Structure 1
Amino acid sequence: MKQGTQGFAGTTGEAAEAARPAGNRCRVPAQPAAAETDRRRGTGRDRFRDDADGAGRGSARGEHTHGEPAPPRPRPAVQRSSVRGQVLAALRTALVSGDLRPGEVHSAPVLAERFGVSATPVREAMQQLAQEGAVEVVPNRGFRIVERGARELAELAEVRALIEVPVMLRLARTVPPERWAGLRPLAEATVRAASDGCRATYADADRAFHGAVLALAGNDQLVRVAEELHRRAQWPLVGGAPGGGSRAELVADAHEHTALLDALIAGDLDVVRALVGEHFNGAK
């Protein structure tokens, strides 16, 4: 993933954003401009009118002749949910990459302008992040990025280890080598992402690998809880440094994935036990 993005200014001002090193930024998924979105989808009033008498008006324009029924039109609620989901994903990327820094306050309208959408999906996405503990609401101002210290990161690592390590060791005794081999592309993806140096890309690849390992246990609740803890461990620390550490640390962490997979395929439980313990001592 190529680095560099316009970043987020929020209420902290454009000058602070311009001063950020370009190497610490990751691209945020591009969002369609609001005007272009409205042009393609039509206004809410037009959609409502089309749903009410679409077949008749279509025939007047020469469409849907010979008694053809009008095709179903997408509902506004589905479209709004899709935009909110895209904005939420982009905000999470900005959070992990450090574009949204701890202690900063960002207003929904300012962020919405950068995404090219209305403030509503941004506000809804920020409310979701508030529920997850990534941001907190500041009345009449917007949302403040939560400030976290090393102690919280260590506590999250401990909880993750208590959940994931026993499961991995149990799976090491029961899952056949060919199923472990099937996870090789995911492990290699973490190495490529770490080498690129984009923390947001690595965070996604890292969660994908760990999630695939835990999914072998057949417990969906386990996977959901572990993913939430993992995501929280990737939020930035005070000072703007994401929990993932430097590029060298990301690369070392990624290579632990491939080494662990090699040991699992070989059925070497002693090596698996040592690697799992080491991996979570510096949990990324």
Structure 2
Amino acid sequence: DLGVSATPVREAMLDLAREGLVEPVRNKGFRITEVSERDLDQYTELRTLIEVPTVGRITRTAARERLEELRPVAQEIVARAREHDLIGYLEADRRFHLALLGLSGNERLVETVGDLRKRSRLYGLTGLDEAGLLVSSAEEHVELLDLMIAGDARGAESCMRRHLGHVRSLWAEGRDGPADA
């Protein structure tokens, strides 16, 4: 229907399987990998162990101008949440977090968090958006950036810990299956 041959589709599906996003089903094809509450807790714990101290270190070492360069992306996250643009929200959120962590200079750290983000896909995003909870989560990005630019490493670490915990609790509240986006 889309004019794409089976070989690139199969290769793409195998790439998704290698990333753990889908699993092959013998004689049927593929299905989306289920992510359990325990999985989400473990991914959140890993992200907290990595991102909280990294945000503190970046706050103490990064040039304020470099941090300020992230402001348009933080504002875009809020705008996309207000516009109910879930795909735009997810993309801007990914860019913000990975660019922020990129200021650490550790490419493996960024790669690892990127992988954890893929594996923990946001659940219940549509429901959260409809309940108006997505905007408050989006605004935490601007708050984090403000704390970092002010040089408040402890405040930034606390905000990041709260943000990750908030996102995890939102997943639990909105657990209605994978995000439509």
**TM-score of the superposed pair, with normalisation by structure 2:** 0.83
The sequence identity of aligned pairs, in percent, is: 44
Match of 1:207 in 2: 94
For residue 283 of structure 1, give the secondary structure of its aligned residue in structure 2: helix
What is the one-letter code of the residue matched to 1:214? L
Encode CA deviations 1:91-125: one digit per residue, 9 max, x unaligned.
xxxxxxxxxxxxxxxxxxxxxx3x33122211111
Q: Which amino acid aligns with 2:39?
A: E
Within the candidate set 246, 254, 261, 2:145 is matched to 261
Call closer, same or farther: CA 1:235–1:272 in 2, change over 3 Å.
closer
> Is the contact between residue 134 and residue 235 of structure 1 (CA under 8 Å) also seen in structure 2?
no
Query: Shift in Å at residue 245 of structure 1?
Result: 5.9
Counterpart Cα distance in 2 of 1:174 and 1:192 = 29
Secondary structure at the counterpart of residue 137 of structure 1: strand
Highest relative contact order (Cα 8 Å, sep 6+), 1 or 2?
Answer: 2
Q: Offset at 1:184?
A: 0.6
In the alignment, is residue 142 of structure 1 matched against residue 29 of structure 2?
yes
Q: Which residue of 2 aligns with 1:283?
A: 167
SS in 1 for 2:167: coil
Map 1:125-140 onto structure 2 (within 5 A): 125-140=12-27
Is residue 59 of structure 2 the alignment partner of residue 175 of structure 1? no
Asked if residue 151 in structure 1 is aligned to residue 38 in structure 2, the reply is: yes
- Structure 1 distance, partners of 2:128, 2:102, is 29
Please show how residues 10-159 of structure 1 align to structure 2 within 5 Å.
113=1, 115-159=2-46
Q: Deviations over 1:134-170 (max 9, x none)?
A: 1111122111111222221121111111111111111
Distance 1:223 1:152 in 2: 20
Kindly name which structure, 1 or 2, has the bigger radius of gyration based on alpha carbons.
1
Q: Distance in 2 between matches of 1:137 and 1:231?
A: 18
User: Which ranges in structure 1 are unaligned for 5 or more consecutive residues?
Assistant: 1-112
* Matched residue count: 166
> Which one has the bigger helix percentage?
2
Match of 1:223 among 105, 110, 114: 110
TM-score (norm 1): 0.55
**In the alignment, is the contact (CA less than 8 A) between 1:203 and 1:234 conserved in 2?**
no
Alignment correspondent of 2:174: none
Between the aligned partners of 2:146 and 2:43, the Cα distance in structure 1 is 27
- Residues 219 and 277 (structure 1), Cα distance of their counterparts in 2 relative to 1, 3 Å cut: same
Partner of residue 155 from structure 2, selected from 271, 277, 280: 271
Give the gaps of 5 or more residues in structure 2: 169-181
The root-mean-square deviation of aligned C-alpha atoms, in Å, is 1.8
The one-letter code matched in structure 2 to 1:209 is: F
* Candidates 243, 246, 253, aligned match of 2:128: 246
Do the aligned partners of 2:144 and 2:160 also contact (CA within 8 Å) in 1? yes
Please tell me whether the aligned partners of residues 134 and 145 of structure 1 are also in contact (alpha carbons under 8 angstroms): yes
Q: Distance in 1 between matches of 2:10 and 2:49?
A: 35
Q: Distance in 2 between matches of 1:176 and 1:227?
A: 23
